[in-house]
């Protein structure tokens, strides 16, 4: 009886040679060097852009009454992009103070205007009234209001107590804010205050879920607690449809 044939040993897998003309991968050292060079170039570009923005802001400062909104846009780019790191400053505030472009207070005000107010509203009000309008909105929104809630209020028509904000002076807006703070201080002594503000926040969330995305609900005290709902026309129409109107 013939012996069974033994299986031939498996030959080792041969390495496939790259086809002729195929570029060989660069050595690791060259790859790291290229990455480092690109990082250095990107860092230099960021330094150039930061200096460009700072120079533009300094130049616009002499025309701040007309160009405050663009100054806020450039400050936002510097802040959000963390360009202070490229210029050797630990924080954005340290960079602003270190370069003596603007005071910290002015820089924060311009940033708040740019981030909160539509350009058209800001241009109608001017820098100082825009700041006072935002401060009043912040107080009216209450201590627990988020920045987004204040921005939502700022996107509504700039009207207070039936009067366009553009017709009010900065001093009048400050007085309105003072009175609002006094009312809120008295209201906080009322046990129903927490419940009223909680209900206002819950109602705003419910309205937004029903399509009124810019709904703003505020709790106010005037002899009794009342909730005020502010809706832009598109949001009011969406809410009316959602309610079957």
233: its two tokens: 């026309």
Contact in structure between 46 and 84 (CB atoms under 8 Å): no
Q: Residue 23 domain-assigned?
A: no
Half-sphere exposure of 182 (CA within 13 A, CB side): 6
Residue 75 lies in a domain: yes
Residue 33 included in any domain: no
Within this chain, do residues 216 and 242 fall inside the same structural domain, yes or no?
Answer: yes
Between 208 and 167, name the one with better pLDDT: 167
Other beta carbons within 10 Å of 18: 10
Domain with 46 in it? 41-116
57 shares its domain with 103: yes
- Examine the domain organization and report whether 148 and 83 are in the same domain: no
Which of the four pLDDT bands, split at 50, 70 and 90, describes residue 209? confident
Number of domains in the chain: 3
Helix (H) or strand (E) holding 160: strand 159-160
Whole-angstrom Cα distance, residue 236 to residue 221? 24
List of long-range contacts for 141-147, beta carbons under 8 Å, 24+ apart: 141/218, 142/184, 142/197, 142/218, 142/219, 144/197, 144/201
Indicate whether 8 belongs to any domain.
Answer: no
Indicate whether 160 belongs to any domain.
yes
The single residue listed with the structure tokens 């498996």 is 10
- Are 80 and 60 part of one and the same domain? yes
- What mean pLDDT do residues 15-40 have? 65
Does the residue 28 lie in any domain? no
Q: Bigger pLDDT: 218 or 176?
A: 176
pLDDT higher than threshold 70 for residue 4: no
What is the mean predicted confidence (pLDDT) over 88-106? 94
Do 235 and 179 lie in a common domain? no
Instruction: Convert the pLDDT of each residue in 155-182 to its tens digit.
Output: 888 988 889 999 999 999 999 999 988 8
pTM of the model: 0.65
* Per-residue pLDDT at 143: 76
Burial of residue 215, with CB atoms counted within 10 A of its CB: 0-12 exposed, 13-18 middle, 19 or more buried: buried
């Amino acid at each position: 009886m013939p012996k069974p044939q033994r299986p031939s040993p498996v030959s080792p897998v041969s390495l496939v040679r790259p086809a002729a003309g195929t570029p060989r991968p660069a050595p690791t050292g060259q790859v790291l060097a290229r990455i480092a060079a690109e990082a250095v170039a990107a860092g230099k570009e960021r330094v150039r852009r930061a200096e460009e923005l700072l120079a533009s802001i300094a130049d616009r400062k002499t025309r701040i009454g007309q160009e405050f909104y663009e100054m806020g846009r450039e400050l936002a780019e510097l802040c959000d992009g963390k360009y202070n790191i490229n210029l050797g400053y630990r924080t954005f505030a340290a960079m602003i103070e270190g370069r003596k472009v603007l005071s910290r207070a002015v820089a924060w005000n311009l940033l708040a205007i740019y981030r909160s107010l539509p350009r058209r509203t800001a241009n109608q009000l001017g820098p100082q009234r825009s700041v006072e309008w935002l401060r009043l909105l912040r107080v009216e929104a209450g201590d627990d209001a988020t920045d987004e809630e204040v921005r939502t209020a700022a996107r509504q028509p700039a009207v207070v107590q039936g009067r366009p904000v553009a017709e009010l002076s900065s001093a009048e807006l400050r007085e309105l804010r003072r009175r609002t703070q006094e009312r809120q201080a008295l209201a906080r002594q009322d046990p129903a205050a927490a419940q009223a503000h909680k209900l206002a926040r819950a109602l705003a969330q419910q309205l937004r879920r029903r399509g009124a995305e810019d709904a703003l609900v505020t709790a106010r005290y005037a002899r009794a607690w009342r909730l005020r709902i502010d809706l832009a026309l598109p949001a009011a129409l969406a809410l009316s449809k959602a309610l079957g109107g």
